[in-house]
Amino acid sequence: MPFTPFHLGPGFALGMIFKRWINLPAILIASIFVDIRATYCFFTGCTPLHGPLHTLLGATLVSLLVIAGVYALRSQLKRVSSFLKIEQDYSLQSISVGALVGVWVHIALDAFLYSELALFWPFPGNPLAGMVGSGAVYGFCVFGFVVGGVIYAYGVYKKVKLWKK
C-alpha cells in the first residue's frame, strides 16, 4: 500500500474485537513494522519494493522482533493501555498472536495489490495478485479502522458511564 498507516485499520479492528486473545500494541506495531524495508526502498529506489519481509517466512521473522520488543516493553505499554482505557493481556501468548496476525494480515492485503510480492517464497509468483481490486482493499482497511474506533469508543463510554454511578 502506498501509505503504510492503512494497515492499522484491520489490526485495530481485530485487536479490539479479540482483545482478550490478541495484544493490541503487538498487532498494531506488527501491522506497520513489516513495511520497514519497503519504506526504505521507497525513498532510496531499491527493488523490489516488497522484498523478503513481504513473504510468509520473512513476515514471520519480523513478528519475532515485534514479540521481543513488545514483551520487553510490556510494563510501559500497560501504562499506555491503562491511560487509553483499553484492558489488555500482556502474556507472551497474546503478544505472539498479535504480532503474527499483524504481519500476516499485512502481507495478505499487500498480496492482492502487488504482483512482485513472492508470498510463498522460495516459490516464485503471487497467486493473490489482482484477485481483489485496490479500492476494495483500501475500503476494507478504512472499514477496519472505523469498526475498531467504534468498539473503542463504546468501551470508553461504558467505563466513564460506570464511574458516574
Q: Fill in the DSSP letter of residue 164.
A: T
Cell reading at 34: 513489516
Phi/psi zone of residue 35: left (φ > 0), alpha (ψ -120 to 50 degrees), beta? alpha
pLDDT confidence of residue 78: 94
What are the tens digits of pLDDT across the range 24-65? 999 999 999 999 888 888 888 888 888 889 999 999 999 999
Cβ neighbours around 34 below 10 Å, total:
29
pLDDT confidence of residue 46: 86
1 vs 127 pLDDT, higher one: 127
70 vs 119 pLDDT, higher one: 70
Cell reading at 153: 469508543
What are the tens digits of pLDDT across the range 107-124? 999 999 988 888 888 888
